Amino acid sequence: MTKRIGMAIGLAALVAVLCGCAEKKPTLHIYTWSDYIKPELVAQFERENHCRVVVDTYASNEEMYAKLRAGATGYDLLFPSSYMVKIMNEQGMLQKLNLDLIPNRANIDPDYMKLAFDEGMDHSVPYTVTITCLGYLGSKVKDFEPTWAMLDRADLKGRMTMLNDHREVIGVALKYLGYSLNTLDDQQLAEAKAVVLGWKKNLAKFENEQYKNGLASGEFLLVHGYSGDLMLVQSENEDIQIAVPKEGSQINFDDMVIPVGAPQPELAHQMINFILEPQSAAELTEFIYFLCPNRPSYELLAEETRADPILFPPPEVVAKLETLADLGENNVKYTKLWDEIKAGE
């Protein structure tokens, strides 16, 4: 009896130890865009690092930023666009990266690093590159031309959308007019406002999430959106065509950053390094259709992917692309203009 009691106590102690180990399994909390990381890669990272990964999503940079500024904590890794990274870093919201923990940073394409705000990767590492484009149904949109003037087409009224993003929308209006998308000139901004108000009359709505599925289903005929989103639904509907307007557009970077107060900063560094593995980067590019600017990964991509002019645009297209800059206190010019556009007719 005494022996059995001892065995029972020992078994209970073992169970308690095992449960305690399970409870101590580290958890990496990621906050990112929806459908922005391949689930199989997440599962692989969990296995290799004996951890759990929890992914929460946001619909815009501003939503993510507002949540963190309001006091949300517990996130270890974020994926904001570069202009928002600059704002967050200046406000002391981001950690300085330990580059010794990210040896795979050497894989990042140096051509893209020339366009990056944080060229030394002090607090951010590039995740993806995307271009803001027009997507349309080739069989439905007659006489298509690669120009932002397509948004003036009254025959497409109610069947077009633009992104619900003030910098994106005002930015393409500025490019259409031949101006920089980062201009602070009041007259140029006033002209852009007039252009957007004209386009607004033809739009079904400003929208960030469902435009791509709406295009694939035929609900929308022409949309303003991100190349990765459009390429994803293009794989489902061969009638979808994608074009970079001749006036130029935005080239956007989404970066990986670690917020101040992250509970698992070392694990976050490990995830960044894992994503920068050539095989991981190639799988991500093929999965999300946004280019991971990882030079060794290019040779691992399918031949069709490497030949795509949207993922790998020719030099004459790149020459007309701009990145969105943080305008500091002058950002208010754009937010005020956006409020007026939303309220206007």
pLDDT, position 209: 84
Tokens of 303: 């031949």
Domain ranges of the chain: 26-129+253-306, 130-251+312-343
Q: 130-251+312-343: CATH homologous superfamily?
A: Periplasmic binding protein-like II (3.40.190.10)
pLDDT, position 83: 86
pLDDT, position 121: 96
User: Same CATH fold, 130-251+312-343 and 26-129+253-306?
Assistant: yes
pLDDT, position 10: 52
Q: Walk along the chain (345 residues) and give the pLDDT tens digit of each residue.
A: 444 444 444 555 554 445 544 458 899 999 999 889 999 999 999 999 999 999 999 988 889 999 999 999 999 999 999 989 999 999 999 999 999 999 999 999 998 888 888 999 999 999 999 899 999 999 999 999 999 999 999 999 999 999 999 999 999 999 999 999 999 999 999 999 999 999 999 999 999 889 999 999 999 999 999 998 899 899 889 999 999 999 999 998 999 999 999 999 999 999 999 999 999 999 999 999 899 999 999 999 999 999 999 999 998 998 899 988 878 889 899 999 999 999 987
pTM for the predicted model, two decimal places: 0.77
Domain 26-129+253-306 has CATH 1.20.1050.10: no
Give the C-alpha separation, 23 to 26, whole Å: 8
pLDDT, position 293: 95
pLDDT, position 51: 98
